Chains A and B, each alone.
Chain A
Amino acid sequence: MTEDQPAGTEGGSDRRDVVVPLRVYKAVTVFSTLFAVLSVVAGFILVDVATQRASAPASEIDVPVGIAGIACILAGTVVYAFSTRFRTEEMGKSKDDAT
């Protein structure tokens, strides 16, 4: 998205904001939190399995599973961070809404 065309979005800072209807905002919050929690937990379980609960010697670490675990944790984090750009009318920067 180009920063010079902030239709339905907030320019100003480099932080992108997308204003959505309340119902969509709720769906975003609920489902992205759910997804983030599940994938972070799943990621830790995978890392645990790969390293035999951090007790495996370096040579016996299951590298693909370990990387999959870290990827899961990162994916959860990214989704959660991404979800924070959505907001509804009158939320957050109230000054900017009152144009």
Chain B
Amino acid sequence: MSLERKDEHDHKGWMESRELTPIESVYLTVLVWLDRRLRVVDYLEILEDLYYKVNMQMPKSHTEQYNLDNKFWYWYPLYALGSFSTVAYIVAAISGALLGFYYAPAAAAADGSPTVAYDSVMLIMGQLNLGYFLRSVHRWAAQIMVAAVFLHMLRVYFTGSYKEPRELNWLIGIVLISLTLVFGYTGYLLPWSQLSFWAGQIGVEMSLSIPLIGEWVAQLMFGGFTLSQATLQRMYILHVFFLPFITTAIIAVHIGIVWMQGIAEPH
């Protein structure tokens, strides 16, 4: 008995039975030649088979039972946005930790010359090997995270996934998007550039505009009514100490709840 696998098709035979243009027969001959040798198709067929067999082990979901996929499938890619936010967060965390080796949160040199913080950012951008790249990765990850979290929220809203019994996770989500934005704001102040400084000024004035507790909030968040070393230091500790611990913990709870409750199905 020969170990050689029999082809289901006698290629030569049927190709002669068709009327093919010369280009077509050369094309097919080349591809069949490759197919005989590389067997990529066989491996893909094995994967396809595996996919169906694994799926047959699972109970039918609500979606399959009522055949909702034909109306709903185009939403499914958007279910990746939560994971996408998580990935962006992890990338920002790693690149931020590396930036931390070179950044110094000091607003010294108030005589008009650039500050220590600004100089350290300039060093990262100009002198440090791959520094420009590292800071760019960190900024892009931050931008992308904000966008992904917001779109994730829209996905949850438009698929109605916030409904009972998932109200708690919606509320946790509101905390998470707020933390994400505070992350962005505190990070924006850290280079202590002109943009940073005046964004900080706006923050102080917004705090002061709050009735009754405004002055207290400005003191607490910005360390005074004018920007100073205290402001930069608070933003720094919020950005690299407070927020990372709190946000990481809450993301873990958020995803843990999704794991426990299962993903919401369309109705």
Residues A23 and B9 in contact, CB atoms below 8 Å apart: yes
Give residues 28-77 of A contacting B (CB, 8 Å): 28, 30-32, 34
Residues A8 and B35 in contact, CB atoms below 8 Å apart: no
B237 at the interface (CB under 8 A from A): no
Residues A8 and B19 in contact, CB atoms below 8 Å apart: yes
A93 at the interface (CB under 8 A from B): no
B198 at the interface (CB under 8 A from A): no
Give residues 1-21 of B contacting A (CB, 8 Å): 7-9, 11, 14, 17-21
* Residues 17-29 of chain B, each 1 if its beta carbon lies under 8 Å from chain A, else 0: 1111101100110
CB-CB under 8 A for A31 and B31, given A8-B17, A8-B18, A26-B41: yes
What CA separation (Å) do A12 and B44 show in the bound complex?
Answer: 34
Size of chain B's interface in residues, with CB distance under 8 A?
23
CB-CB under 8 A for A1 and B28, given A8-B19, A27-B41: no
Partner of B18, one of A7, A23, A34, A85: A7
Q: Please give, as numbers and ranges, the residues of chain B lying within 8 Å of A31 by CB-CB distance.
A: 31, 34-35, 38, 40
Residues A30 and B18 in contact, CB atoms below 8 Å apart: no
B263 at the interface (CB under 8 A from A): no
Could you name 22 residue pairs across A and B whose Cβ atoms are closer than 8 Å?
A1-B21, A5-B19, A7-B18, A8-B17, A8-B18, A8-B19, A9-B19, A18-B18, A18-B20, A21-B9, A21-B14, A23-B41, A24-B31, A27-B31, A27-B32, A27-B35, A30-B40, A31-B38, A32-B31, A82-B27, A85-B24, A86-B28
> Given A23-B7, A27-B31, 11 more contacts at CB 8 Å?
A1-B21, A1-B24, A5-B19, A8-B18, A9-B19, A27-B35, A30-B40, A30-B44, A31-B34, A31-B35, A82-B27
